[in-house]
Chains A and B, each alone.
Chain A
Amino acid sequence: MHLVADHLQKKFGATTAVAEVSFAAAPGEVLGLLGPNGAGKSTTISMVAGLTTPDSGSVQIDGIRLGIGADPSKRHLGLVTQEIALLEELTARMNLEFFGGLYGLAGRTLKVRIDAALALTSLADRAKDPPKEFSGGMRRRLNIACALLHQPQILLLDEPTVGVDPQSRNAIFETIEVLAGEGRTVVYTTHYMEEVERLCDRVVIIDHGRVLADDTLAGLLANAAVSNRLTLKYDLPPDGAAQAEIRGVAGVTRVDLEGSELVVCAADLGLAAPRVLERLAARGYRCLELTSRRANLEDVFLTLTGRTLRDT
């Protein structure tokens, strides 16, 4: 199903949580909403899930405007909240029976769906245990399973991996990939760029309640004019003349001396790196250590906002 968020705006008193956010997601697509804490991601998800009424703008599912309350269109949505919303005293199966019941599921249909959800999230052998006895990762997986019982065609995941160990995180990623592979539309909010890079077909970067960019990862890297980084450690720090010469090398966009390390930024490292090393060697500098890193979403965010994701 197609999901469209069209010019969403939301204020809480004098505070603008979402200034204006628009995006669209297609079936089978994993759309990442990336932004720092407080950027407006959760408020956006609340409006998209029909929990919060936008001050203006609308959410449409296959062209039908979504309301709040008992709007039947909400049956197409499955929300995985940032908080682990489980009944800690009841067993995993009872939790699933409860959440299935909320969507009108009962009897054999509910049982079959529960078994499928437990299998998908690898929790079948713990169905009789209460979540309070689960690890953080297992509780997260059960949290996801609860949102899948009514087979929503659009899945909204609000930072679903917070506090999860790497193994469980991978298990969650695999579950999401399976769901997207089945043709479901997935909207995934996070402030971890690594998750977006791993999972998402398209990325919407949000900050201060506005969309800063909306593109594929490759498109963002290409359009944001970000650079790959080459870090060189020499026996002696290159002097000013050497740095000036490096700045003149074709393709080099920036040169900085950070302590004893020379940081060289270039659009194409494969082309620039040999030349830089050659020039410095010619000046008698002996390279002790060399590392390189591809430009990533962190760099895109830095370019777009002047801040890093983790600083905000």
Chain B
Amino acid sequence: MSPSLTAFRALVRKDLALFIRDRRALVVSVLTPIVVAAFFGFLFGGTGAGGNPVSRLPVGITDLDDSALTKAVLESLGSDASLQVQVLPEEPAQQLVRSGKLRAAIVFPAGFEAAATGALVGNGHMPEVKLLYDPSQSIIRSVVASLLTQHVMQRISRPNFIASTLSLPFTLESIAATTGPRYNSYAHSFAGMSIQFILFMGIDAGVALLLMRQEGMWRRLRAAPLSRGVLLGSRVVSTALISMAILAVVYLVAGLVFGVRIAGSLPGFVMIAIGFSLLAATTGLMISSLGRSVGATRGVAMFSVLILVMLGGAWVPAFLFPEWLQQVTEFVPTRWAVDGLDGMTWRGLPLQAALMPAAVLLGWSAVFALIAVWRFDWEGN
């Protein structure tokens, strides 16, 4: 084996040995993404195999009309699987909405039935139904208003209220659209959290290089007859290997405990894992080349990674973003990593679908590596 290759191997082995012996790094890099991903996965629907029941919205109803129609609507709303109905007077209902214990409250005014049936056929004024809602959750207002409209229309259109019968002109069947098995929200949360915490590990690797400079180790390495390629390349390889090992362990736990499956292409998954691992490694290298003091560098890098992870859809899926933001995040490498891992796991996509994300990740890795080499202060301490 050539001396350069021996040196390269010694440098990589040293980084791996240091990582394994650093309990804190092991815990942060492996255990934390598993715990956080498990929590988010549970929160956002679990395995999708009828695991978590849909949470029902607590809604208060005040019936000042006490008519047959309002009683029928009340019964109808009470049987809706999305709602947890509580009948109570207006004042307590308003207090409970204010305190956040009810998401909304509906107040049927006195004379509602007479006014509503008349207004439906064009006679008289429409009655005014109050909808009290928590302003911090304004989307609830739309949900409750829609459900209220649906249930009132269904009840009021029955023959005992008006002459003609109206009903919804369609039925709705919801089907989860994936080519793989049923959607598993753990798959997405494990993708997102793996990416976040592996990028944190990449930052640590970059900061460790800054510390090496401060503590004299860098001088010692440079005293050996080693090229820049060996010194920095070994760093990239060791960080990428650690990253791939973390991904493997995290997804092993995800598979064994949370039922996450690589329903798509395994080679595609590996390609994306390699692309992302190189991205994490070159991110660390770039940080070490741009940073000066350890404290400031760590702070700025953490902030940057959190922004990248957020925009990449690791916390909430990118399809929930506004349209313009979805387009902007096409330029964010973490978006490709998250989408790529999602594609190979619960979406069950084939190898071809991994080519583009892997290529984008490798491209960004090359850009980061070039910046690192360009900005690296070789002779400074």
Interface residues of A (CB under 8 A from B): 46, 49-53, 68-75, 77, 79, 81-85, 87, 89-90, 94, 97-106, 146
Contact = CB atoms under 8 A, between A and B. Distances in A.
A103 B7 contact: yes
B7 to A, nearest CB: 5
A85 B228 contact: no
A99 B10 CA distance: 8
A85 B3 contact: no
B173 interface: no
Contacts of A53: 379
Given A104-B2, A104-B6, A85 B224 contact: no
Contacts of A73: 225
20 contacts: A51-B219, A51-B379, A69-B227, A70-B4, A70-B226, A70-B230, A73-B225, A79-B219, A81-B216, A87-B217, A90-B18, A94-B17, A97-B10, A101-B10, A102-B11, A102-B224, A104-B3, A104-B4, A105-B6, A146-B220
A73 B225 CA distance: 8
B303 to A, nearest CB: 29
A100 B7 CA distance: 8
A51 B223 contact: yes
Contact of A101 (B7, B21, B225, B228): B7
B24 to A, nearest CB: 11
A65 to B, nearest CB: 15
B17 A90 contact: yes
Given A51-B379, A85-B216, A102 B221 contact: yes
A106 B230 CA distance: 17
Nearest to A76: B225
Nearest to A70: B227
Given A74-B225, A89-B21, A146-B220, 4 more contacts: A69-B226, A83-B216, A101-B11, A105-B6
B215 interface: yes
Contacts of B1: 106
A51 B222 contact: yes
A105 B328 CA distance: 51
Contacts of B101: none
Contacts of A51: 219, 222-223, 379
Interface string B288-308: 000000000000000000000
Contacts of A70: 4, 225-227, 230
B219 A85 contact: yes
B223 A49 contact: yes
A127 to B, nearest CB: 16
Contacts of B18: 87, 89-90
Nearest to B12: A101
B225 A46 contact: no
Contacts of A69: 225-228
B130 interface: no
B166 to A, nearest CB: 75
Nearest to B215: A83
A74 to B, nearest CB: 4
Of listed B22, B225, B228, residue having the most chain A CB within 10 A? B225
A101 B220 contact: no
Contacts of B7: 101-104
Nearest to B223: A79
Nearest to A80: B220
Contacts of A102: 7, 10-11, 221, 224, 226
A98 B14 contact: yes
B75 to A, nearest CB: 69
